[in-house]
């Protein structure tokens, strides 16, 4: 059965109080698409205000620390995200793997900490342009997935395949390349989790916009999208949600908690 699609926005380091109206516009317009799960991952400091502004709409964080609490200056725990009103978090985004030097083992610990608190998790993986051009994209991404995957999916895990060279560049892999990668990710998830691996949503991320979303959502094993730049404005983001709603029937499909 097709999984219910998840379209999650990653606001990265964008968002002030004055943007709460845009968050509200996105939440309101998403209400017209009950067949799609929609979420916005906002800066940690905006989570509480955003979740109060749009009750019932899924607000998430963009990172989480693996420890429950302690001497970790500047970091945010899973319990803190939940306490602020988040229902999900991204872990292992390539911008953090790169700039904050996050290892696969650390990403795995973060995913486990978030899942054990009851958060949904979007675990990001993806290859560099050098790896893609060398023809090693699938094996590299699957090795990264194997090393970052939490011990259990907890029924709340999504994986986002985000080729680094496609993020914020306007470049997108071909639908064949996306299909090949998502099929390999699905096989790995089924290896790791058995039947539950079939229920883990696999999102595509990297320059998703209204004009390419329909084509991407039609690829088998694409169960949604992680959207950066095009998630900042309702006018850009909602047509992507609409494309997800049109892409496949979702009767009886699993919903975001």
Applying the rule CB under 6 A, the residues between 107 and 136 that interact with ligand PGA are none
Active site residue 112: no
Does residue 89 touch ligand PGA according to CB under 6 A?
Answer: no
Pairing between β-strand 5-10 and β-strand 58-61 as defined by DSSP bridges: unpaired
3-state secondary structure of 194: helix
Does residue 228 touch ligand PGA according to CB under 6 A?
Answer: yes
d(CA 173, CA 135): 13
- Catalytic residue, candidates 93, 102, 106, 112: 93
105: CB partners within 8 A, 6+ apart: 147
Does residue 227 touch ligand PGA according to CB under 6 A?
Answer: yes
Count of residues near ligand PGA by CB under 6 A:
13
Give min distance, CB of 110 to ligand PGA, in A. Answer: 16
d(CA 162, CA 141): 10
d(CA 220, CA 216): 9
DSSP state of 73: T
- Catalytic residue, candidates 95, 112, 127, 162: 162
Give Dmax (Cα) for the chain: 47
Applying the rule CB under 6 A, the residues between 196 and 215 that interact with ligand PGA are 205-208
Q: Candidates 16-24, 212-220, 222-230, 238-246 — which segment interacts with ligand PGA by CB under 6 A?
A: 222-230
Q: Which of 123, 71, 77 is nearest to 102 (CA)?
A: 123
Does residue 153 touch ligand PGA according to CB under 6 A?
Answer: no
DSSP state of 17: G
d(CA 197, CA 3): 12
Q: Kindly tell me which residue out of 27, 226, 238, 240 binds ligand PGA, with binding defined by CB under 6 A.
A: 226
Beta carbon nearer to ligand PGA, 155 or 168: 168
Beta carbon nearer to ligand PGA, 89 or 253: 89
Q: Kindly tell me which residue out of 34, 168, 198, 220 binds ligand PGA, with binding defined by CB under 6 A.
A: 168
- Element counts in the chain: helices (H) and strands (E): 10, 8
Active site residue 65: no
Which stretches of the chain bind ligand PGA, using CB under 6 A?
A: 10, 162, 167-168, 205-208, 226-230
- Catalytic amino acids? 93, 162
């Amino acid at each position: 059965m097709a999984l219910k699609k998840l379209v999650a926005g990653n606001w990265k380091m964008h968002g002030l109080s004055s943007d709460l109206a845009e968050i509200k516009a996105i939440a309101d317009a998403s209400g017209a698409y009950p067949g799609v799960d929609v979420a916005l991952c906002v800066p940690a400091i905006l989570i509480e205000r955003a979740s109060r502004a749009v009750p019932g709409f899924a607000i998430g964080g963009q990172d989480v620390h693996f420890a429950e609490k302690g001497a970790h200056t500047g970091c945010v725990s899973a319990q803190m995200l939940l306490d602020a009103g988040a229902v999900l978090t991204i872990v292992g985004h390539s911008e953090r793997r790169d700039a904050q030097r996050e290892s696969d083992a650390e990403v795995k610990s973060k995913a486990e900490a978030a899942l054990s608190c009851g958060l949904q998790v979007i675990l990001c993986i993806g290859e560099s342009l050098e790896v893609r051009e060398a023809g090693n994209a699938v094996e590299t991404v699957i090795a990264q997935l194997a090393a970052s995957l939490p011990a259990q999916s907890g029924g709340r895990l999504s994986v986002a395949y985000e080729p680094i060279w496609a993020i914020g560049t306007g470049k997108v892999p071909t639908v064949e390349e996306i299909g090949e990668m998502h099929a390999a990710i699905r096989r790995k998830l089924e290896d790791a989790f058995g039947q539950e691996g079939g229920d883990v949503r696999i999102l595509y991320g990297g320059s998703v916009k209204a004009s390419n979303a329909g084509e991407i959502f039609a690829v088998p094993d694409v169960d949604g999208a992680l959207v950066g730049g095009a998630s900042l404005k309702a006018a850009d983001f909602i047509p992507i949600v609409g494309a997800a709603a049109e892409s496949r029937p979702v009767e009886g499909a699993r919903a975001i908690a």
